[in-house]
Amino acid sequence: MKTELKTNLRAIWGRAYVRVVGAQREPSWILFEIMMPLLAVATYVFVYRALGAPKEFTGFVILGGIMTAYWLNVLWSMASQFYWEKETGNLELYLIAPISRMSILLGMALGGLFMSTTRAVVILLGGIWLFDVTMVPSSWPLLVLVFLLCMVALYGLGMLASSVFLMFGRDAWQISTLLQEPIYVFSGFYFPIKSFGFTLGTIASLIPLTLGIDAMRQLFFEAGRTHAFLPIGWEILILAVLSVVFLWLANKALLKMENLGKKEGRLTLRWQ
């Protein structure tokens, strides 16, 4: 038991280390990943200002721009990961390694979380400096709790999607591209999801980012409570439930993927 745990911890560190170090070897990626979200944030800020919207909406947009870094990391570096590993011939090594597939994805998640956080901090500081926004949380413990629950649920969703995308084979790229913009809309990156109404807002709440962003807006801005979809206590509870559900589903999906590869011997073929 101790040896198995040690092996899985090494696998987690190995996958996280590659992402943390590798991200610093291509400075142009860092530049584009920071500048592009900032441009999107600036666009919505200028639209709100042109419409005479309250100043708090500028803060809503900046907070949404910060969270785009995490969504893009989950979509491109988590959900599509096993598909790319299959294309490069590494998936066979993962399937025969004496470790849990969850360890591999957890390492990727931790490495990706570090990468995304560095970019999110730059976007936050840049947005506050450029647009003169004050963001002071009303409760640091609640803010940390909401953020952690949101990340656990979000990366659990990414782990689940990694198996689903792998099953779709070459369609994984198209699916990733297709999901990018709809999530921007239904997660309320740039506007409160309360405007959707209760029914559509409830459906959108199945995406962890939706309630995570809504709860953080309530903690950062007084107006966030006015435009909130649900009270913050309910949003924390739902995020906790989503975390458990997505991690459980991810584990089931990974086991199914592994068994399929062992039984049929076709999961790792790159011509699928």
Nearest Cα neighbor of 159 from 10, 15, 5 is 15
Residue-range definition of the domain harbouring residue 56: 2-264
Could you tell me if residue 269 is inside a domain?
no
Token digits of residue 75: 């979509």
pLDDT value of residue 244: 95
| Percent of residues, the chain, with pLDDT higher than 90 | 15
Could you tell me if residue 167 is inside a domain?
yes
pLDDT value of residue 270: 46
With 60 as the cut, is the pLDDT of residue 132 above it?
yes
Could you tell me if residue 270 is inside a domain?
no
With 90 as the cut, is the pLDDT of residue 149 above it?
yes
Could you tell me if residue 272 is inside a domain?
no
Could you tell me if residue 10 is inside a domain?
yes
Identity of the highest mean pLDDT range in 33-37, 39-43, 99-103, 231-235: 231-235
Could you tell me if residue 113 is inside a domain?
yes
Calpha distance 15→111 (Å, rounded): 7
With 70 as the cut, is the pLDDT of residue 1 above it?
no
- The 10s digit of each residue's pLDDT in 10-62 is 888 877 787 777 666 666 666 666 677 777 788 888 888 888 888 888 888 88
Contacts of 65 (CB under 8 A, 6+ apart): 37, 38, 40, 41, 123, 127, 189, 190
With 80 as the cut, is the pLDDT of residue 269 above it?
no
pLDDT value of residue 268: 52
- Number of domains forming the structure of the chain: 1
What is the pTM (predicted TM-score) of this model?
A: 0.85
Q: 56 versus 249: which is more confidently predicted? A: 249
Could you tell me if residue 271 is inside a domain?
no
- pLDDT level of residue 109 (50, 70, 90 thresholds): confident
Burial pattern 35-58, b for ≥16 Cβ within 10 A else e, equals eebbebbbebbeebeeeebeebbb
Q: What Rg do the C-alpha atoms of the chain give, in angstroms?
A: 19
- The 10s digit of each residue's pLDDT in 176-226 is 777 777 888 888 888 888 888 889 889 989 989 999 999 999 998 887 888
Report the mean per-residue pLDDT for the chain.
Answer: 81
With 80 as the cut, is the pLDDT of residue 152 above it?
yes
Identity of the highest mean pLDDT range in 33-42, 128-137, 168-177, 241-250: 241-250
Calpha distance 31→78 (Å, rounded): 21
Q: 28 versus 128: which is more confidently predicted? A: 128
Nearest Cα neighbor of 204 from 229, 241, 224 is 229
> Which residue's entry shows tokens 């500048």?
35
CA atoms 13, 16, 19, 24: torsion sign:
negative
Residue 55 is classified by DSSP as T
Identity of the highest mean pLDDT range in 18-22, 67-71, 226-230, 258-262: 226-230
Calpha distance 37→32 (Å, rounded): 9
